Amino acid sequence: MGTALVYHEDMTATRLLWDDPECEIECPERLTAALDGLRQRGLQQRCLCLTACEASEEELGMVHSPEYVALVRRTQTLDKEELQALSKQFDAVYFHPNTFHCARLAVGAALQLVDAVLTGAVHNGLALVRPPGHHSQKEAANGFCVFNNVAIAAKHAKQKYGLQRILIVDWDIHHGQGIQYIFDDDPSVLYFSWHRYEHGRFWPFLQESDAHAVGQGQGQGFTVNLPWNQFDPELVLVSAGFDSAIGDPEGRMRATPECFAHLTQLMQVLAGGRICAVLEGGYHLESLAQSVCMMVQTLLGDPTPPLLGLMVPCQSALESIQSVQTAQAPHWTSLQQNVAPVLGPSTRFPEGRSLPLLAENPTYEAAEAALSPLQGELCLRPTPPICTAVALAVPGAALALPPGVLLQEESALREETEAWARLHKSLFQDESLVALGKILCLLGGILDGQVRNGIAVTAALATAATVEVIIQRCLSHGAQRLLCVALGQLDRPLDLADDGVLWLNIRGKEAAVESMFHISTPLPQTTGGFLSCILGLVLPLAYGFQPDVVLMALGPAHGLQNAQAALLASVLRGPAGGRILAVVEEESILQLARTLAQVLLGEAPPSLGPFLMASPEEIRALRLLKAQLEPRWKLLQAAAPPPGSCSPIA
């Protein structure tokens, strides 16, 4: 099981035949640049490469009218003047004698990818295609798009595999109005798009790209910008446009290539990891190539490189999120109990005010400058030879571990282990001393870059002392920032310097902020409360802190179900580039160690089970923490509201 890459070089055979500054950016080099990037970094070689076949006219007919398909078919025999005249009938479109062939290959590639994922041949994949698809409509080409590749793929997944819930995430910088129209009244396809809007002044200049568009009829609530885990989809299709990336002449935004690794990783916890991504826009060749590589690398299971920069959300982004929540609240019970405080009138931008976005954005030269050092860094960060290692206190228990994990047999030097143990004299003896030696060796592997992540199983009652040793060892080994997410009865070690360690304890007691680096919150008892806690508190704190290493410690009476522990471990892989050590007590919970090993190897976490709304006390606790922590941890301002019921209000 791996990652599919679907492509056909014939898709480079369509191009603009006349002068048109608007359309010239949609060029064949987009595909060759992306592919060269993948090849140079050895990523293509790690994928299952599939050659695209043309979609049939019947397949096109799932979305497009026979008249429109016939019209595109006829372009094969038109001359240049006729092609140009026809192109003018649409907005931002050009036709070429090869357009029909390429557009059918693009659809065919998307369908093959869905087949590969849904038959279980691969976990996930990317279709590198052109022309793109998300602006295309039943009877119209639009915005370089001829057939709607992703929409046809969604129809195919419903018809051929009987899927009932498909999530489409569209991260192209333009609104995919084509997909929105096609599924406007269809509640089985949730269309999520983020896009540049500028209060309607950004192409395609549509009112219906705004937050108030929520779908029609039965489909109300299914055209949305929505936090990512509520709908519980069976398949995730990504309209993967990279024109939101830095340097893009269309989008003029500044998402770094790394952002796409993190976006991809967030999607990976959904739908059992079944992700089909299909290329849409992206017109700065180097930025496109790097962003595609970031996505494919993450699909392949590699850790995400750290996100650099100031972790502060901008005011206008917060306002956009707020207005989406307001528009969606009538359709999703979850959004009615909103953790986020409503923005005061003084902070709101008046509707329609144009923001100085263009002036602030980088020129191409600036983008090149920002991209090239990143390149260097990418090459300098080698993949650790070992992905996941497990240190067990009792060796026999290894049988239950998934294949692919390294069993940590080696121990740290005896003197070293004893020196650490002396700090906690009464707690490490015999068996627990042996376990400590292995854990120290495993931790050393993580800190030296030999091992990506690990699980440490401690002997009975030794968890707290082990956590103390791990923290001290990390700090003495040059870790600048260590995030500790501690569950159950574990106290923050005394005499820790602030700043270096962010201690977040999720335990039975009430919410409390001892300091900006010492926080505790109760473990929610509902799925909704748990998701709110993870998405609305843990994740913003983790990304805001930018740790080098994450320690997830399950102490006595942690009360976490295996699926909850798996989701937590899965999201905590993001902020520290996958450097995470999970500490669990005793082999008695070996099933837990097994589940954790699976997610640390890159598998999707299991389902959390039936959905229960967060309780009022859980919401109150989160609100309280948010209010107290926001001055220091600004990402909390953008925190998702607590997720609610799995289906919208009828």
The option from ligand Q9C, Zn ion, none interacting with 59 (CB < 5 to 8 A, set by class) reads none
Rounded least distance, CB 203 to Zn ion, Å = 9
Does 281 help bind Zn ion (rule: CB under 5 A)?
yes
Written as six digits, the tokens of 215 are: 């779908």
Does 174 help bind Zn ion (rule: CB under 5 A)?
yes
Rounded least distance, CB 281 to Zn ion, Å = 3
Number of residues lying near ligand Q9C (CB under 6 A): 15
- H helix intervals, 573-648: 590-600, 616-629
Does 488 help bind ligand Q9C (rule: CB under 6 A)?
no
The residues in 305-324 that bind ligand Q9C, with binding defined as CB under 6 A, are none
Q: Measured from the CB atom, is 92 or 113 closer to ligand Q9C?
A: 92
- What DSSP string runs through 268-287? TTSGGG-EEEEE-----HHH
The option from Zn ion, ligand Q9C, none interacting with 144 (CB < 5 to 8 A, set by class) reads ligand Q9C
Rounded least distance, CB 25 to Zn ion, Å = 10
Q: For the chain, what is the radius of gyration of the CA atoms?
A: 25
From candidates 115, 170, 172, 548, binder to Zn ion by CB under 5 A = 172
402 contacts: CB under 8 Å, gap ≥ 6: 594, 597, 598, 601
Rounded least distance, CB 171 to ligand Q9C, Å = 11
Q: Measured from the CB atom, is 25 or 294 closer to ligand Q9C?
A: 25
The separation between CA 116 and the C-alpha centre of its own chain, rounded to angstroms, equals 21
68: left (phi over 0), alpha (psi -120 to 50) or beta: alpha
From candidates 248, 280, 286, 468, binder to ligand Q9C by CB under 6 A = 280
Does 302 help bind Zn ion (rule: CB under 5 A)?
no
DSSP category for residue 244 = T
Question: CB–CB of 242/371 below 8 Å?
Answer: no
Is 135 a known active-site residue?
yes
From candidates 92, 151, 153, 389, binder to ligand Q9C by CB under 6 A = 92
Q: Measured from the CB atom, is 250 or 468 closer to ligand Q9C?
A: 250
Does 519 help bind ligand Q9C (rule: CB under 6 A)?
no
Rounded least distance, CB 143 to ligand Q9C, Å = 3
From 141-149, 230-238, 312-320, 573-581, span contacting ligand Q9C (CB under 6 A): 141-149
From candidates 143, 536, 578, 643, binder to ligand Q9C by CB under 6 A = 143
* Stretch 364-403: interaction string toward Zn ion, x if CB under 5 A: ----------------------------------------
From 138-146, 397-405, 556-564, 634-642, span contacting ligand Q9C (CB under 6 A): 138-146
The separation between CA 34 and the C-alpha centre of its own chain, rounded to angstroms, equals 20
What DSSP element (H or E) covers 223? Answer: strand 223-224
Q: What is the rounded CA–CA span in Å between residue 392 and residue 590?
A: 10
Rounded least distance, CB 19 to ligand Q9C, Å = 15
The residues in 215-274 that bind Zn ion, with binding defined as CB under 5 A, are 241, 243
The option from Zn ion, ligand Q9C, none interacting with 22 (CB < 5 to 8 A, set by class) reads ligand Q9C
The residues in 232-271 that bind ligand Q9C, with binding defined as CB under 6 A, are 241, 243, 250
| CA distances from residue 118 to 15, 122, 275 in whole angstroms, order as listed | 33, 8, 10
Q: Give long-range contacts, CB 8 A cutoff, 24+ apart: 408-416.
A: 408/438, 408/439, 408/441, 408/442, 408/445, 408/454, 409/438, 410/438, 410/441, 411/437, 411/438, 411/440, 411/441, 412/437, 412/438, 412/440, 412/441, 412/444, 416/440
Beta-bridge partner residues of 520: 505, 512
Does 172 help bind ligand Q9C (rule: CB under 6 A)?
yes
Q: Looking at 135, 175, 195, 558, which residue is catalytic?
A: 135
Question: CB–CB of 136/148 below 8 Å?
Answer: yes
What DSSP element (H or E) covers 454? Answer: strand 451-458
Cis, peptide link before residue 233, omega less than 30° from 0: no
| CA distances from residue 202 to 206, 283, 320 in whole angstroms, order as listed | 8, 17, 15
Question: CB–CB of 630/320 below 8 Å?
Answer: no
Rounded least distance, CB 572 to ligand Q9C, Å = 34
CA atoms within 13 A on the CB side of 141: 26
Residue with smallest beta-carbon separation from ligand Q9C? 281
From candidates 108, 125, 132, 301, binder to ligand Q9C by CB under 6 A = 132
As a whole number of angstroms, the longest Cα–Cα distance in the chain is 88
The option from Zn ion, ligand Q9C, none interacting with 100 (CB < 5 to 8 A, set by class) reads none
Q: What is the rounded CA–CA span in Å between residue 571 and residue 534?
A: 8
Binding site for Zn ion (CB under 5 A): 172, 174, 241, 243, 281
Residues recognised as catalytic: 135
Binding site for ligand Q9C (CB under 6 A): 22, 92, 132, 135, 143-145, 172, 174, 203, 241, 243, 250, 280-281
